[in-house]
Amino acid sequence: MWWRSASFILDNSRNPVNDDVPPNSITISPPPLTDSTAAAAPLQNPNFNRNMSMSAYYQTRAAHHGVVTSDWLAQAQEAAAATGAVDGQDDGREGGGGTGGRAFGVIDEFNRWRKQPDLAEAVAAIRALAAVIGNSEANTMMELEIELKKASDSLKSWDTTSISLTAGCDLFMRYVTRTSALEYEDFNSAKSRLIERAEKFGEISCKARRIIAMLSQDFIFDGCTILVHGFSRVVLEVLKTAAQNKKLFRVFCTEGRPDRTGLRLSNELAKLDVPVKLLIDSAVAYTMEEVDMVFVGADGVVESGGIINMMGTYQIALVAHSMNKPVYVAAESYKFARLYPLDQKDMSPALRPIDFGVPIPSKVEVETSARDYTPPQYLTLLFTDLGVLTPSVVSDELIQLYL
What's phi and psi for 374, nearest 5 deg? Answer: -105, 115
CA torsion sign for 280, 283, 289, 292 is: positive
Which element (helix H / strand E) includes 244? helix 233-244
DSSP class of residue 292 equals: S
Has 299 been annotated as catalytic?
yes
Q: Among residues 108, 159, 281, 299, which one is catalytic?
A: 299
Q: How far is CA 31 from each of CA 1, 26, 28, rounded to the nearest angstrom?
A: 54, 7, 9
Q: How far is CA 360 from each of CA 50, 73, 257, 312, rounded to the nearest angstrom?
A: 21, 20, 17, 22
Sheet order of strands, 307-310 included: 300-301, 307-310, 371-374
CA torsion sign for 160, 162, 165, 166 is: positive
In angstroms, the first-to-last Cα distance of the chain is 51
Amino acid at 400: Q
Radius of gyration of the chain (CA): 22
Q: Where are the beta strands (DSSP E) in 177-246?
A: 224-228
What are the residue numbers of the active site?
299
